Amino acid sequence: MFLGLMLNESFGQNTQKPPLHGKHWMAITGKPLGATAGAMIFAQGGNAVDASCAMLAAVCTMWDVLSWGGETQALIYNPNTKQVIAINAMGISPTGATVDFFKEKNMQYPPEFGPLAATTPGTPGGLMTMLAEFGTMSLEQVLAPAMEMAKGYPIEAQTANMIESRKDLIKEWPYSKKVFLPHLGQEREAPHAGEIFVQEDLYQTLKKLVDTEKEALAQGKTRKEAIYAAYDRFYKGDIAEEIVRGTREQGGLFTLEDLAKWKVKIEEPLSTNYKGIEVYKLQEWTQGPVLLQTLNILENFDLKSMGYNSANYINTVYQAMNLAFADRDFYYGDPDFNPKSPMKGLLSKAYAKQRAKLIGEKNDPEIGPGDPYPFQNGKNPYLHLLVKRKNALAYYQPELPIQGPEDPFLKQFQSGTTSIQAADKDGWVVSVTPSGGWIPAVIAGNTGIGLSQRMQSFVLDETLNPFNVLEPGKRPRVTLTPSMALKDGKPFLSFAVQGGDTQDQDLLQLFLNIVEFGMTVQEATEAANIHSYQMQSSFGAHESKPGSITLNTSVPSWVRKDLEKRGYKMNFLERTSGPLNAIWFDWKHNSFWGGSSNHGEDYGIAW
């Protein structure tokens, strides 16, 4: 029985971090102080949604590769309805952001940084919606840790050094320079590690939200109504006015109408069943369905008999991921716009079986998107584009292998944000992958709000992806992709990771490590994953390197030799696990197992 295997027979892999155990609650996120914020809320009686909101606020304030002006994506298991709910708090492209606008500036994609890279802020609305609809506490309570941090917290070395390394770009934006560079003119202009980092403008913005909530409560409004009053002040009131003023002053395109008309969407997630386990992902405006497609493909193979990280296993998983990502690159986009992605066909088991037949002894660097339309009783209107697509990939570079851990392509491809996991004894489970507004970020006027850089994930040429062509008011197809799985109608696994285009690669392998190979959740988060770069990067120059593969340094020589014969171009890293964060549910003992990988600064607390 699988449950006994998890609890009584370790996979035998040593881990650098112990698993977390808890029976009341569990809080995991990208920074120790962020996890502490979640623990504080749990200790005050909050549920997993309250704690997740507190962690989200804290990591945004800490610039844990994101900020308050970014985007939030979440899956929530509601124990009252026994359903998984999807939160879509991805901002939209502003008025004036058109294909012609960027092509007139001789751009192949919207820019990587700066005010023209920004979608409208989504995270504040996402946090307040989650809290209002599914939490129990006030906005004042869940923002308290973040507000204290905005008044001043000891900044950690990772963020401080990132500021210093990007200070030349930061200096181009006056409000960013004011916040990030307290030692302007000195040799080191960024804060020092451990220095008390103060963000007074951000504190005042958060205080305005709390003040609005208090005023609404004093007028007899309900908890939910008071939170939405704060929401309206952010998107329609004086905060919105300053965000728009400050953004447009620096060359951005936001209008007040853009912020006012944007709304958080509470959606139905997509799902598939893998060997009796229901796996849930967000819709195709994220890359999340890639995981579902890959599981459908791999269901046609006996992975367990191949052996964990054998050459056959790596070759099979690598190609299955490439098949699904090829479909992502061409077919995924915002479902609120036409054309509509053919998701029924893409997620059909019959389509997956057809795609699985393309997996051979050697990787095919020429593999492209399939045709899912016949599997939803339709005819593909874009076959003519598929023929032209390869020629449109200006940065298709199969002949250039990755040059080690400092390769700029590798660093960009794997660039991360943070993730949040929370669960409580009453059954609430939350998985979040927030992002956007990473350093170097443009700060919107005197708000302290760092703007998103997600516009770069649009395409300007329909030959690349007719579903993800830039239009005003549209959400870009993002890499952000929280995950959740149920077994026998109960939470089985909640998991998320940072890492751009590698996210669903790591999440897939974490899931297989547990389901196929019986690893504990901590073993699975630290395990020796592989990464493919055959898909088109969602960032920067949008490169693709077919046949390139990252392997863990622990992969033995005979596996390396076998993969080399199959034509793989290998590079090796000591840590290849994400960093992954996950919660596994032990229903035999009614407790939680938490895993947080040894890859970065991710940290969990449980009780």
Mean pLDDT value across residues 35-46 = 98
Stretch 281-285: mean pLDDT, rounded?
98
Tokens of 68: 């308050």
pLDDT number for residue 541: 84
Buried residues in 157-176 as b, exposed as e (16+ CB within 10 A): eebbbbbbebbeebeebebb
Residue pLDDT, tens place only, 474-524 = 999 999 999 999 999 999 999 999 888 999 999 999 999 999 999 999 999
**Which pLDDT band, with edges at 50, 70 and 90, does 404 fall under?**
low
Q: In 3-state terms, what secondary structure has residue 420?
A: strand
Question: How many CB atoms within 10 Å of residue 81?
Answer: 8
Residue 405, pLDDT score: 58
CA distances in angstroms from 206 to 55, 135, 216, 230, 566, listed in the order given: 15, 19, 16, 10, 55
Task: Determine which of 37-51, 176-190, 270-284, 382-396 has the lowest per-residue pLDDT on average.
Answer: 382-396
User: Which residue, among 575, 412, 580, 570, has the nearest Cα to 501 in the 3D structure?
Assistant: 412
pLDDT of residue 559 exceeding 80: yes
Six-digit token pair at 13? 């892999």
Question: What is the model's pLDDT at position 29?
Answer: 96
**Mean pLDDT, residues 275-292:** 98
Decide if 65 contacts 438 (C-beta within 8 A).
yes
Confidence at 578, pLDDT banded by 50, 70, 90: confident
Does position 307 have pLDDT exceeding 80, yes or no? yes
Strand partners, 120: none
At residue 553, the pLDDT reads 95
Share of the chain above pLDDT 70, in %: 94
Asked whether the predicted pLDDT for residue 365 surpasses 50, the reply is yes
Q: What 3-state DSSP class applies to 83?
A: strand
Q: What is the pLDDT of residue 411?
A: 57
Dihedral, CA atoms, 321, 323, 326, 328, nearest 10 degrees?
A: -70
pLDDT tens string 140-177: 999 999 999 999 999 999 999 999 999 999 999 999 99
Single-letter amino acid, residue 461? D
CB 30 within 8 A of CB 601: yes
448, 199 contact by CB (below 8 A): yes
Residue 76's contacts (CB-CB under 8 Å, 6 or more residues apart) are 49, 84, 85, 87, 130, 134, 428, 429, 430, 431
Task: Give the model confidence (pLDDT) of 564-575 as tens digits.
Answer: 999 999 999 998
| pTM (predicted TM-score) | 0.95
In DSSP notation, 106-167 reads: T-SSS-SSSGGGPPPP-HHHHHHHHHHHH--S-HHHHHHHHHHHHH-EE--HHHHHHHHHTH
- What does the pLDDT read at residue 8? 33
d(C-alpha 580, C-alpha 589), whole Å: 24
Q: Strand 580-586 relative to strand 591-596: parallel, antiparallel, unpaired?
A: antiparallel
Confidence band of 1 (pLDDT split at 50, 70, 90): very low
Query: What gap in Å lies between CA 112 and CA 219, rounded to an integer?
Result: 45
Whole-number Å distance between alpha carbons of 438 and 462: 28
Q: If you average pLDDT over every residue of the chain, what do you get? A: 93
In this prediction, residue 319 carries a pLDDT of 98
- Is the C-alpha dihedral spanning 502, 504, 508, 514 positive or negative? positive
Q: Mean pLDDT across the stretch 176-191?
A: 97
Would you list the domain boundaries of the chain? 20-266+418-457, 270-416+475-600
Residue 599's pLDDT is what?
A: 83
CB 464 within 8 A of CB 330: yes
Whether 414 shows a pLDDT value over 90: the answer reads: no
- What CATH code is assigned to 270-416+475-600? 3.60.20.40
